[in-house]
C-alpha cells in the first residue's frame, strides 16, 4: 500500500492534511517530527513527505526542526506554512517576521506555471495564517505564487521540493484539493490504491490474530464511533467480545432503551447494561468546571468497566471508540489541549486492563462512517447524531442535577424533532440543545416567570475539526422556540448559537 508521511510540527489542525490526502485514496500516516529518523523514513518507503504547519518561528532556538537530511532522501517533500518556512531555513534561505506581511484569513492568490498548480487558475482565493514569511529564497528555488502582502506564497526547486505559505488543506482554499492532488499524483506519482474497505478488512484480520483467545470488553455508548468499533471487533473475535453499555443518566431522551435494543436485536451481541445514574450524579455533585466533569466521567467509566470485567472473569482488553479529533483536542504530540475527551485525556493513570484497543484512533468522523457502511451497519445508526462520551454533562452548564438533565432532555428532543420534521437532518451535521446556567425574567399568563435560558446549536462540517454554524430557516427556529417554552417547564428563553469553530468548539464545554 502506498503511503505518505505527514510530519507533524505541532499545529492544532494539521490532521486535516492527512484527511485530505486520504480523500484522494492515498494513505497518510502522521508522525511527530521528533519521533522518526531519516533512516526510518527511507526504510518505510514513503511516496512523499508533507511538512505541516505549526505555531512556532523557525529562527527561535527551541523551534521544532527535523534534520536537513529529510529533504534529500530522494522522496518528494511539500511544506505547508511553518513547513514551508522550515524548508527555506534548512536549505539556507532567510525567514523573517514583519507585521506588514502578516496575513490571516481569505487572501487572493496569484500562481505561476508549476507542477503544483496544474489546473489552478492564475488568480484564486486561499487561506493564510502567518506572521513570518520567506524573505530570501534558498539557492536553486523559485517563487511560484504570490499574494498582495506575501512575496513568496509558494516556491519550488523545480524537482522534488515544494512549499506553500497558504493552507491547501482547509476548505477556504478554493483549489487546495487540486494542489494536494498535483503533489500526490504529479510529483509523488501515487496511484491512489487505498480504500476504506482495505482498512476494515485489514483491521479485522489483525485483531483476529492479536486477540485470539482473549476476552475483550467494549465501552459501548451507542454513538457512531463506539458502535463501529464494536461491530468491527465483533466481526474479528465474535463472542469473545462483551459490550458494556454504561447508562450514566446523562443520555438523551429514551436513548438507553434504544441502544440496548439495537445491539441485542440487530447485531446479536453480548451486551451488559449498567444503570449507574446515581453513581455518576453523586460524583458530579457540586462540580461546575468542564475539565473536571470530563475527568470524573472518564475515571468512573473505567472503574465501572473494571467492575464488570471482574464479574466476567479475566478480561485482557478494553475497546474504545476514540477517533482522531478526540486525540487532537486532548493534546496529542506537541498540540495544545482544547478539552480532554473522556476516553483520551480523561482516562485515569492506572487501569486494570492489559491494554486499551482503539481501532478508529487514526480516523476522522467521515472515515468512521465509511467503515461503518463497509461493515454493513444500517444507515440510520451510521448517520446518527454524534453524541459526546460525557453526554449531557457537558451540555448542562454549571452544576449537574437530575432536574436540569430532565429539562434539557425534553428541550433537546423537541429541537431534534423539529429538525427532522423539516427534513434538515442531512443539511446540518450536528444539532442539540444546551441548558445554560443563566435565568431571565419573562411573562406567561400575565404572571412573572424566572426561567432557564436554553441555547440551540447546529453546525455544518465535513471533518469536525472546523465547523460553520448552520443557517437554519427562521420558521424552524420559531417552531422549536415556541414548543420548548410552552412544553418544557422552567425554560423562559431560547437563543441560537451563531459561532463557528474556531473560535468556538462544537460543544459548549
* Catalytically annotated residues: 81, 167, 169
412/393 Cα distance (integer angstroms): 13
218 three-state secondary structure: strand
314/453 Cα distance (integer angstroms): 48
Greatest distance between any 2 Cα atoms in the chain: 79
CB 272 within 8 A of CB 308: yes
- DSSP one-letter code for 34: T
Please write down the HEC assignment for all residues of 283-302. HHCCCCCHHHHHHHHHHHHH
Contacts of 482 (CB under 8 A, 6+ apart): none
317 three-state secondary structure: strand
Counts of helices then strands in the chain (DSSP H, E): 14, 20
- Residue 238 is placed in which grid cell? 465474535
- Residue 49 is placed in which grid cell? 513527505
The CA radius of gyration of the chain, in Å to the nearest whole number, is 25
168/176 Cα distance (integer angstroms): 4
- Residue 228 is placed in which grid cell? 463501529
- DSSP one-letter code for 425: T
425/188 Cα distance (integer angstroms): 39
Phi, psi (degrees; rounded to nearest 5) at 17: -60, -50
308/216 Cα distance (integer angstroms): 12
Amino acid at each position: 500500500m502506498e503511503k505518505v508521511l505527514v510530519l507533524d510540527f505541532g499545529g492544532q489542525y494539521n490532521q486535516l492534511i492527512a484527511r485530505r490526502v486520504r480523500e484522494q485514496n492515498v494513505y497518510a500516516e502522521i508522525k511527530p517530527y521528533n519521533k522518526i529518523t531519516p533512516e526510518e523514513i527511507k526504510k518505510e518507503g514513503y511516496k512523499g513527505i508533507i511538512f505541516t504547519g505549526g505555531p512556532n518561528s523557525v529562527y527561535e532556538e527551541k523551534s521544532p526542526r527535523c534534520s536537513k537530511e529529510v529533504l534529500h532522501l530522494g522522496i518528494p517533500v511539500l511544506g505547508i506554512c511553518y513547513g514551508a518556512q522550515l524548508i527555506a531555513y534548512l536549505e539556507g534561505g532567510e525567514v523573517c517576521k514583519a507585521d506588514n506581511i502578516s496575513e490571516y484569513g481569505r487572501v487572493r492568490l496569484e500562481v505561476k506555471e508549476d507542477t503544483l498548480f496544474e489546473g489552478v487558475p492564475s488568480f484564486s482565493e486561499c487561506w493564510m495564517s502567518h506572521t513570518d514569511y520567506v524573505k530570501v529564497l534558498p539557492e536553486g528555488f523559485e517563487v511560484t505564487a504570490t499574494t498582495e502582502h506575501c512575496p513568496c506564497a509558494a516556491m519550488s526547486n523545480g524537482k522534488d521540493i515544494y512549499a506553500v505559505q497558504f493552507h491547501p488543506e482547509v476548505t477556504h482554499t478554493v483549489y487546495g484539493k487540486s494542489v494536494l492532488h498535483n503533489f500526490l499524483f504529479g510529483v509523488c506519482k501515487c496511484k491512489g490504491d487505498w480504500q476504506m474497505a482495505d482498512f476494515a478488512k485489514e483491521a479485522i484480520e489483525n485483531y483476529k490474530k492479536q486477540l485470539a483467545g482473549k476476552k475483550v470488553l467494549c465501552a459501548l455508548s451507542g454513538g457512531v464511533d463506539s458502535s463501529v468499533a464494536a461491530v468491527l471487533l465483533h466481526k474479528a473475535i465474535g463472542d469473545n467480545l462483551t459490550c458494556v453499555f454504561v447508562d450514566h443518566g446523562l443520555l438523551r431522551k429514551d436513548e438507553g432503551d434504544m441502544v440496548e435494543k439495537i445491539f441485542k436485536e440487530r447485531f446479536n451481541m453480548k451486551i451488559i447494561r449498567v444503570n449507574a445514574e446515581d453513581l455518576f450524579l453523586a460524583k458530579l455533585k457540586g462540580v461546575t468546571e468542564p475539565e473536571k466533569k470530563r475527568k470524573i466521567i472518564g475515571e468512573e467509566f473505567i472503574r465501572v468497566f473494571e467492575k464488570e470485567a471482574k464479574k466476567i472473569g479475566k478480561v485482557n482488553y478494553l475497546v474504545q471508540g476514540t477517533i482522531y479529533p478526540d486525540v487532537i483536542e486532548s493534546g496529542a504530540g506537541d498540540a495544545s489541549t482544547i478539552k480532554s475527551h473522556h476516553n483520551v485525556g480523561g482516562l485515569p493513570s492506572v487501569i486494570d486492563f492489559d491494554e486499551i484497543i482503539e481501532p478508529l484512533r487514526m480516523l476522522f468522523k467521515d472515515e468512521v462512517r465509511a467503515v461503518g457502511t463497509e461493515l454493513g451497519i444500517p444507515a440510520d445508526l451510521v448517520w446518527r447524531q454524534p453524541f459526546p462520551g460525557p453526554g449531557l454533562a457537558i451540555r448542562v452548564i454549571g452544576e449537574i442535577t437530575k432536574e436540569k438533565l430532565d429539562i434539557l432532555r425534553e428541550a433537546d428532543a423537541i429541537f431534534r424533532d423539529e429538525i427532522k420534521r423539516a427534513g434538515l437532518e442531512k443539511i446540518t451535521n450536528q444539532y442539540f440543545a444546551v441548558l445554560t446556567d443563566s435565568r431571565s425574567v419573562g411573562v406567561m399568563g400575565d404572571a412573572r416567570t424566572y426561567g432557564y435560558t436554553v441555547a440551540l446549536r447546529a453546525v455544518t462540517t465535513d471533518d469536525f475539526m472546523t465547523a460553520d454554524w448552520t443557517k437554519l430557516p427562521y420558521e424552524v427556529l420559531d417552531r422549536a422556540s415556541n414548543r420548548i417554552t410552552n412544553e418544557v417547564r422552567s425554560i423562559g428563553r431560547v437563543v441560537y448559537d451563531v459561532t463557528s469553530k474556531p473560535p468556538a468548539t462544537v460543544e459548549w464545554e
